[in-house]
Amino acid sequence: MGSKVLVTGGYGCIGAETVKWLLENTPLEIVIASRTVSAERTARAFHGLDHDRLQAVSLDISKAEQVNELFSAHDFSHVIHLAAFQTPDCNAHRDRGLQINLAGTQHLIEAIKQSSKSIERFVFASSIAVYGPRSQYPPGVVSSESEPSPGAPYGIWKLAGEQLSRVFHQETGVPTICLRPAVLYGPGRDLGLTSSPTTAMKHVVLGTPYKIPFCSRQDFQFAPDVGATTGMIATESFDGFGVYTLPSHCLSIERMVEKMRDVAEHIQGIEPPQISVGDEEVPFICDLESQKILDRFPSIPQTSIDDGIRRTLETFCLQHKLGWL
């Protein structure tokens, strides 16, 4: 029997890029679990890729019985847990966010523990939101080993998920990794408090005005890099338990927009961008170092901001031609 990986939240920004990397770089069978599943969604998310090793199943991870039924139907060898409410939904619907982000993680862990197949790896997607706002830390580079101090439900539940994952590893010995992504940009990033820079890139392609509401510096990460990193750490040799902050590029929104303008100038068919910047601040840390994961997984990708913007704009140009943008 071959190996099979479960990717919860597999249609999301990180999830889709992780699945793409797995399809292109491994022989694994892949099961996507999402609240809403459709053939059209699969076709768009994985356009141009062979879907023979890919299956999408409907799952509400807040329902323990649904999670248990999924594990009864499949022998998973790897589990990548990405499904979660993001910050705006967690703030607006706290009880639902609690059931999905925290109880859902526990449901998944219990299902793994009861599985008849030995799990080779468990990966939990945490977030830099566990650190709280930048103002809580001194100037300069912030160590990824700094003590977390989340200031909102999303970060609190992500930190709790890390602790659940740690206890899971202690109880089972299953190699377990928690990843703390920062501010993602690129194809598929359309939800969350910091998705507006990517939305701005869509407007660049469409030739329409757009205002990014916040101006604060952020640690930016290209979504395909984060997906590739997630796939790599799920499948490469690893023992024990680890929590890792991912490499990023720290820059202001004003500088990000300048780079959009510079890159767009060299892409045929794109008019000069009409992107402006507001004066709001977002409560996320930046300036985080990431040497720990580079020491352990030195081959993870680190796309430059210019190349990431170029690839994003080119993808959006294609989606615009297909009528998807």
Render the burial of 24-34: b for 16+ CB within 10 Å, e for the rest.
eebebbbbbbb
Instruction: Work out how many domains the chain is built from and give that number.
Output: 1
Is residue 257, in this structure, part of any structural domain at all? no
Alpha-carbon torsion angle 126, 132, 134, 135, nearest 10 = -170
Cα separation, 255 vs 31, whole angstroms: 39
DSSP per residue, 198-209: HHHHHHHHHT--
Each residue of 58-110: pLDDT tens digit? 999 999 999 999 999 999 999 999 999 988 889 999 999 999 999 999 999 99
Is residue 72, in this structure, part of any structural domain at all? yes
Each residue of 169-198: pLDDT tens digit? 999 999 999 999 999 999 989 887 789 999
- Report the DSSP beta bridge partners of residue 57: 33
Cα separation, 53 vs 29, whole angstroms: 5
Q: Can you give the residue range of the structural domain that contains 113?
A: 4-185+221-247+283-303
Each residue of 290-317: pLDDT tens digit? 999 999 999 999 999 999 999 999 999 9
Is residue 158, in this structure, part of any structural domain at all? yes
Is residue 36 a contact partner of residue 45, using CB atoms and an 8 Å limit? no
121-125 and 176-180 beta bridge pairing: parallel
Cα separation, 200 vs 215, whole angstroms: 13
Task: Give the helix/strand (H/E) hosting 307.
Answer: helix 305-322
Give, to the nearest 10 degrees, the angle between helix 13-25 and helix 223-235: 50
The pLDDT value given to residue 1: 41
Is residue 51, in this structure, part of any structural domain at all? yes
Is residue 109, in this structure, part of any structural domain at all? yes
Q: What is the CATH number of the domain that holds 162?
A: 3.40.50.720
* Rounded mean pLDDT, 197-205: 97
pTM of the complete model: 0.95
176-180 and 183-185 beta bridge pairing: unpaired
Task: Give the helix/strand (H/E) hosting 99.
Answer: none
Q: Which amino acid is present at 82?
A: L
Is residue 82, in this structure, part of any structural domain at all? yes
Cα separation, 184 vs 151, whole angstroms: 20
Is residue 208, in this structure, part of any structural domain at all? no
How many Cβ atoms are within 10 Å of 220's Cβ, its own excluded? 22
Q: Please, which pLDDT band fits residue 282 given cuts at 50, 70 and 90?
A: confident
Is residue 96, in this structure, part of any structural domain at all? yes
Cα separation, 159 vs 170, whole angstroms: 17
Q: Which amino acid is present at 71?
A: F
